[in-house]
């Protein structure tokens, strides 16, 4: 069994996230971390590998050169190998281009199962797992709050506002998980030292057979970007006996009821 986990380096989720008003891209400073949802996806794979000898867990990231430290953290957590796709042509890549590149990398790496988070904390698009499965031509089980991996299929629980659904898919497949999954393990000293010797393959677009000159037709075009408006002062309603009526009128006026 070969499980590939998609991980991403994002700005610290506990910090303020802003967009550059010149480029429209997320400002990425020194405080970048592995996205928590990606770590939870990795924990699913590592927990399975702990109980099933012969399972190979690899991580795959598309990101800038400085994201190597984040990749190494995943190796220190227990992944056996990593692939890091780095190319100047990927700066500001949209979801469509990212899915295309990830699919090309997965075709090169090989996989039985791909596990990823349901959405990243910076882009929060939530559609990349489905786009990736479409490129790969494999089933996709989304937004799983519990995952069971078998020899020939993967199954899990999808919880929504209306129901809890049990889903399954034959392997190979792509699954996405939610924050209901357990927290990831912390790298220990032994894992950190071992990570330095584990294989980390760095690939460019050329290595994946993607022509960087044709990328302009594969990405979204930014038309304009502006700062988020400052939060307006709230409305205070003093109860003079008609607060309920005034509150209902305010909610109706703002299309909240």
How does pLDDT run across 101-150, given as a tens digit for each residue? 999 999 999 999 999 999 887 777 889 999 999 999 999 999 999 999 99
- Strands 140-149 and 153-159 come out as antiparallel
Please report whether residue 246 resides in a domain: no
- Residues 118/142, Cβ–Cβ less than 8 Å: yes
Q: What distances in angstroms separate CA 37 from CA 3, 17, 40, 233, one per listed residue?
A: 16, 17, 5, 34
Residue 22: both structure tokens together: 């010149």
Q: What is the CATH number of the domain that holds 96?
A: 3.40.50.620
| pLDDT tens column, 147-197 | 999 999 999 999 888 889 999 999 999 999 999 998 999 999 999 999 999
The residue segments making up the domain with residue 117 are 2-217
- 120 Cα distance to chain centroid: 4
Q: How far, in Å, are 88, 96, 97, 136, 226 from residue 220 at the CA level?
A: 17, 8, 9, 22, 17
State percent of the chain over pLDDT 70.
92
List beta partners, residue 146. Answer: 157
Tell me whether residue 164 is in a domain.
yes
Q: How many CB atoms lie within 10 A of CB 136?
A: 19
Question: What is the pTM for the complete model shown?
Answer: 0.83
| Residue spans of alpha helices (H) in 123-235 | 128-136, 189-195
Going by C-alpha positions, the residue among 61, 34, 39 that lies closest to residue 181 is 39
**19: exposed, middle or buried (C-beta count within 10 Å: 0-12, 13-18, 19+)?**
middle
Tokens of 250: 């305010």
Helix (H, G, I), strand (E, B) or coil at 62: strand
Query: Is residue 47 in some structural domain?
Result: yes
Instruction: Tally the domains of the chain.
Output: 1
Q: How many of the other CB atoms lie within 10 Å of CB of 32?
A: 19
Q: Is residue 228 part of a domain?
A: no
For 199-240, write each residue's pLDDT tens digit: 999 999 999 998 776 665 556 666 777 877 888 888 888 888
249 belongs to a structural domain: no
Is 209 inside any structural domain? yes
Query: Does residue 132 fall inside a structural domain?
Result: yes
- Establish if 233 belongs to a structural domain: no
């Amino acid at each position: 069994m070969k499980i590939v986990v998609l991980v991403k380096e994002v700005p610290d989720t506990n910090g303020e996230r802003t967009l550059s008003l010149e480029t429209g891209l997320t400002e990425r400073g020194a405080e970048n971390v592995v996205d928590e949802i990606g770590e939870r996806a990795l924990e699913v794979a590592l927990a399975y590998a702990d109980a099933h000898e012969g399972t190979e867990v690899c991580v795959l990231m598309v990101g800038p050169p400085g994201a190597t430290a984040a990749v190494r953290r995943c190796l220190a957590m227990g992944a056996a190998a990593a692939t890091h796709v780095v190319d100047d042509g990927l700066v500001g890549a949209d979801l469509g281009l990212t899915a295309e590149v990830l699919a090309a990398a997965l075709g090169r790496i090989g996989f039985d199962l791909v596990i990823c988070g349901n959405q990243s904390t910076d882009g929060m698009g939530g559609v990349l797992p489905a786009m990736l499965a479409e490129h790969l031509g494999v089933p996709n089980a989304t937004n799983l709050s519990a995952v069971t991996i078998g020899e020939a299929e993967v199954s899990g629980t999808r919880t929504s506002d209306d129901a809890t659904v049990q889903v399954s898919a034959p392997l190979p497949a792509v699954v996405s998980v939610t924050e209901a999954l357990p927290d990831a393990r912390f790298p220990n000293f032994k894992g950190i030292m071992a990570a330095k010797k584990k294989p980390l393959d760095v690939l460019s677009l050329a290595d994946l057979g993607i022509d960087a000159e044709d990328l302009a037709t594969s990405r979204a075009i930014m038309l304009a970007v502006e700062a988020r408006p400052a939060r307006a002062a709230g409305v205070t309603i003093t109860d003079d006996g008609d607060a309920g009526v005034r509150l209902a009128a305010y909610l109706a006026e703002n299309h909240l009821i």
